[in-house]
């Protein structure tokens, strides 16, 4: 591959793939990504989180994040940026859609009210604040609350594995909203993402499928039910499964020499 050849895009999931969940990127990973880009590949990220959370993990500021990669797809691509090659530190915003435009205020409130009522009837070892976070492309719903500390987050994750708090809630939501074309997805450690069917990570592919000959996707939750499954198994991508960020660094070397 030559240095000018940008027709192969490598898209990375964030949590569990580039970083440990909700943690910061290491200098080794940044070096590996820079090497991939210097070897002539286009490099992009696609995460369920919003721009501010991804920026905390990968960059100093939200502005810096927008041109740090060739593509930044936050909220699965509902909030999306492409580096502007004609301008130093410039970017183009690619996506404008929103969940409330798609499903309407009434349905959105029905879902929020159902979640709040359901969560008010659960007792957990601890509960904190911010149980529903509204994002442009999804609702993020957390039984413990997003305001929990890292320690409380890790403890909830273990508790949830034993007690199925989130999987039970997903079942209840699926029963209640079965005719609404809404997907309920367990992506991270403490929450459930709620978005229209099809607004999973494959949403971002519409922005790159015509401009790249091949698209690699690298993620850790690639089994059915995981939030990387749809894009990993999509016929437009070459899917790779990794187990942790160190594994991703090894895979980057393999992609470069392949």
Q: Are 193 and 78 in contact (CB under 8 A)?
A: no
Residue 149 or 214: the one with the smaller Cβ distance to ligand M1P is 149
Q: How far is the CB of 38 from ligand M1P (least distance, A)?
A: 27
Residue 172 or 256: the one with the smaller Cβ distance to ligand M1P is 172
Q: How far is the CB of 97 from ligand M1P (least distance, A)?
A: 17
Q: Which residues bind ligand M1P (CB under 6 A)?
A: 15, 21-22, 47-49, 53, 140, 187-191, 193, 227
Residue 193 or 230: the one with the smaller Cβ distance to ligand M1P is 193
Phi, psi of 160 (to 5 degrees): -65, -35
Paired sense of beta strands 192-196 and 182-185, if any: antiparallel
Identified catalytic residue from 7, 13, 175, 200: 13
* Distance from C-alpha of 34 to C-alpha of 23, rounded to nearest angstrom: 20
Q: Does the annotation count 160 as an active-site position?
A: no
Q: How far is the CB of 86 from ligand M1P (least distance, A)?
A: 32
The two tokens of residue 48 are 């369920």
* Distance from C-alpha of 66 to C-alpha of 180, rounded to nearest angstrom: 33
Q: Does the annotation count 15 as an active-site position?
A: yes
Q: How far is the CB of 238 from ligand M1P (least distance, A)?
A: 21
String of DSSP letters for 23-66: -PPPHHHHHHHHHHHHTT-EEEEE-SS-HHHHHHHHSSSHHHHH
| Residues recognised as catalytic | 13, 15
């Amino acid at each position: 591959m030559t240095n000018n050849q940008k027709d192969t895009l490598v898209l990375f999931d964030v949590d569990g793939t580039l970083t440990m969940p909700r943690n910061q990127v290491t200098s080794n990973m940044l070096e590996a990504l820079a090497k991939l880009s210097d070897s002539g590949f286009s490099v992009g990220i696609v995460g369920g989180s919003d721009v501010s959370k991804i920026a905390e993990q990968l960059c100093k500021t939200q502005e810096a994040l927008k041109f740090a990669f060739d593509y930044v797809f936050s909220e699965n691509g509902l909030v999306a940026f492409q580096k502007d090659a004609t301008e130093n530190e410039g970017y183009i915003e690619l996506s404008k859609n929103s969940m409330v435009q798609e499903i309407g205020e009434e349905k959105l409130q029905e879902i929020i009210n159902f979640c709040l009522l359901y969560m008010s009837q659960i007792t957990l070892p601890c509960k904190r604040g911010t149980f529903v976070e509204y994002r442009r492309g999804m609702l993020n719903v957390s039984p413990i609350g997003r305001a929990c500390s890292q320690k409380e987050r890790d403890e909830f994750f273990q508790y949830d594995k034993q007690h199925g708090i989130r999987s039970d809630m997903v079942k209840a939501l699926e029963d209640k909203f079965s005719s609404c074309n809404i997907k309920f997805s367990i992506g991270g450690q403490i929450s459930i993402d709620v978005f229209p069917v099809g607004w999973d990570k494959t949403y971002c592919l519409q922005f790159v499928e015509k401009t790249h000959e091949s698209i690699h996707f690298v993620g850790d939750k690639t089994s059915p039910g995981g939030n990387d499954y749809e894009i990993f198994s999509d016929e437009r991508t070459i899917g790779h499964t990794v187990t942790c960020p160190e594994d991703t660094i090894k895979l980057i070397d393999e992609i470069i020499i392949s």
